[in-house]
Chain A
Amino acid sequence: MKLRSIGKWIKQSFLFDADDVASPLRYQLLKRNIIVIMITITFVPLLSMALINYHQYQTSLKSEIVEPLRLLSNKTVHSFELFLEERLSTIRSIASMSSFADLSDRQKINRYYRILKKEFGGFVDLGIIDNNGIQVAYAGPYDLVGRDYSKQSWFHEVKVRGFFISDVFLGYREFPHIAIAVQQFQDNGLGWMLRATIDTKKFDSIIASIGLDSEGDVFLVNRSGVLQTQSKYYGNVLEPCELDLPLKNWGTQVVDITDRGGREMLLSFTNFRNHDYALVVVKPKSVILKSWYTLKSEMFFIFLGGVILIVLVVIRVANLLVNRIYVADQRRESAFRELENTQKLSSIGRLAAGVAHEINNPMAIINQKAGLMKDLLELNGGFKHHEKFQDLTNAILQSVDRCKNITHRLLGFARRMEVMVETLDINEVVKEVLGFLEKEALYRKVALELQLDEKIPQISSDKGQLQQVFLNILTNSLAAVEDEGRIIIRSRAEAPDRIAVSIEDNGCGMSPETLSHIFEPFFTTKKGYGTGLGLPITYGIIKKLGGDLKVQSTEGKGTIFTVTLKPNLQLTKENP
């Protein structure tokens, strides 16, 4: 049930009922449907193209941003690894070139320490640790000789791996540094270690050398996510990094993140290959995608402009189209009505002519017989019912006359009379016709008012037929007005190629229903004495003369008949 009502609603909304062709709603629906269809057809490809372009562009832009970032990260990691490898090699070289005994000599270790500080920079101290973890010699700012490292994990790692590079840690002087230790063996097989501490200022200079813009951030973390260098946004050295990092991954990873401050960032994360560090490069998206955002808003405005333009054009085109259809429909409908009328007139005309002709012959016989009866009555007067017979014969002859009028009008309606063109003054034609009706008007005290334009141009037309036209209309007007009514006849030049005569009465007027039938043959309101042929004949004549007949009527107020004619009669094909 619900489905059916939805179906009905769709049908009503998107289709139109064929029975309702003349309704203005039909054109509104048509216009709306055209607009909806045209907008849909235009928008679907436009919108899909815009979305595809948007997506494509975003993808390619991202890869253009991501690749350099990945490259930068790899390069930086490489710099760090090079730095660490260099320091490790240096320490390893010193340990290889010297013996435990040499380096245990305070003077010697001090000399190495000075050379390292001078040539490499960043070295904080240098110490020799024996196989038991006791620091036997030390060069540096503190007094750490005799310190026991045997309990520390790095000591054991060196023993296993042969070298060790520590995470960053705060030493006695409370600044960050790292420790590097290598293991060597004495001739007696006992191991010893050379351990150096390096400050991490060099890390900062490597980071600075990347040349990242002011909005970006670069820092190192260890495998536990603890910051190894200072971060601009995510914490100080040795604090846990505030970001969720993909610590377990290998290689370089670039991901989109939203940090705890709500900023949208592009993050590159690279694990060191040989050490337990990872490099993190962070760039705010607002900076790297600035050009994209600008382009996006430009694209949006172009799209919006296009959409507005399309909608305006579609509405205008739909309006134009529907108006044309409306005008064409109106024309077709009126042409159809006219054709229908003409066909009706001509077929009824043929029928009427046949009937009239057939009736005329017996009517002629009745006429002659009654005439003979009358003749005989006049010759032989003085019998019983003489007067009565005379009255009866006269009545027969009068009826024959009435029939004659009807049949002649029927034949007149049907025939295509030859048009006799002459130059005439329309005012004169009107006046002549009024001559026939003046007596009736006078008798009924109907005022015949003439408002004729004396400067109206002369026209070429058929006088007899125009007389018939005005006689028919005026007869109707006289029939419509009450006694003491009023009829106004006006003539005027309407345009260079058109004159008009209007006949206005203040009679009973016509209902719209009556008005729609008045040009139909045999339609009459004059019960009993109208033939219903006057106005169809009038209409036919005017059309034949290349003119037009319009009727305006208000029930109870009166009627205006307006005849328009062309000054020069051009015969229609139908009536050459």
Chain B
Amino acid sequence: MKDKKVLLVDDETEFVTTLAERLKLRDIETDIATDGEAALRIVETTPPDIMILDLKMPGLGGLAVLKQAKSIRPGIKVILLTGHGSTKEGIEGMNLGAFDYLMKPINIEELIEKMRDAVNKG
């Protein structure tokens, strides 16, 4: 996982920075975007291998970001985060090419496991 580029996208700065810090402690380097537009810019300029993407964001929503990111970089692995507890949007995201989805609050070990699966299986 150390050589993989990871992009974290979530409008909650506190959440995304802490998560980035924890991943760094586990030797995973991450980029951070706190809105959809910023995320897409990063996808275009420095394409990540894995994108951890929150579904519910102001402005450009998670599903829209997913769609555009996939069109820009079809090989990008996306793991969705949902706070809804609903499987509906998660499944919709998977239909749009997301690898999997996780429900907030997430367990970091679970997230790393999913990322590993995405890189290996995807």
Q: Which residues of A contact B (CB under 8 A)?
A: 353, 356-357, 360-361, 363-369, 371-372, 375-376, 379, 400, 404, 407-408, 410-412, 415, 417-418
Contact = CB atoms under 8 A, between A and B. Distances in A.
Contacts of B21: 372
B46 interface: no
B22 interface: yes
A368 B54 CA distance: 15
Interface in B25-64: 25, 56
Given A360-B104, A361-B104, A408-B103, A368 B18 contact: yes
B18 A372 contact: yes
Contacts of A375: 22, 25
Given A367-B106, A368-B22, 10 more contacts: A357-B84, A364-B105, A365-B14, A367-B105, A371-B22, A372-B21, A375-B22, A411-B84, A415-B85, A417-B86
A369 B105 CA distance: 11
B47 to A, nearest CB: 26
Contact of A364 (B25, B83, B86, B88): B83
B117 interface: no
B12 to A, nearest CB: 6
11 contacts: A360-B85, A364-B104, A365-B14, A365-B15, A366-B105, A368-B22, A368-B108, A369-B18, A376-B25, A408-B103, A411-B86
Given A368-B22, A372-B21, A400-B105, A361 B83 contact: yes
Contacts of B12: 361, 364-365
Contacts of B19: 368
Contact of A372 (B22, B83, B88, B104): B22
B42 to A, nearest CB: 21
A361 to B, nearest CB: 6
Nearest to B91: A418
A366 to B, nearest CB: 8
A360 B86 CA distance: 13
A368 to B, nearest CB: 4
B87 interface: yes
Q: Main SS of chain A's interface residues?
A: helix
B14 A369 contact: yes
Contacts of B86: 411, 415, 417
Interface string B75-108: 0000000011111100000000000000111101
Contact of A417 (B18, B87, B105): B87
B105 A357 contact: no
A360 B14 contact: no
Nearest to A417: B87
B88 A404 contact: no
Contacts of B84: 353, 357, 411, 415
Contacts of A353: 84-85
Nearest to A367: B105
A558 to B, nearest CB: 34
Contacts of A363: 104-105
A364 B87 contact: no
Interface centre among A356, A371, A411, A415 (most CB of B within 10 A): A371
Nearest to B109: A371
Task: Name the 9 nearest CB pairs between A and B, nearest first.
Answer: A411-B85, A367-B105, A368-B18, A360-B83, A364-B105, A364-B104, A365-B14, A365-B15, A415-B86
Given A368-B22, A372-B22, A360 B105 contact: yes
A375 B19 CA distance: 11
Nearest to B85: A411
B52 to A, nearest CB: 12
A260 B104 CA distance: 116
B18 A357 contact: no
Contacts of B85: 353, 356-357, 360, 407-408, 410-412, 415
Contacts of B105: 360, 363-364, 366-368, 400, 404
B105 to A, nearest CB: 4
A542 B22 CA distance: 43
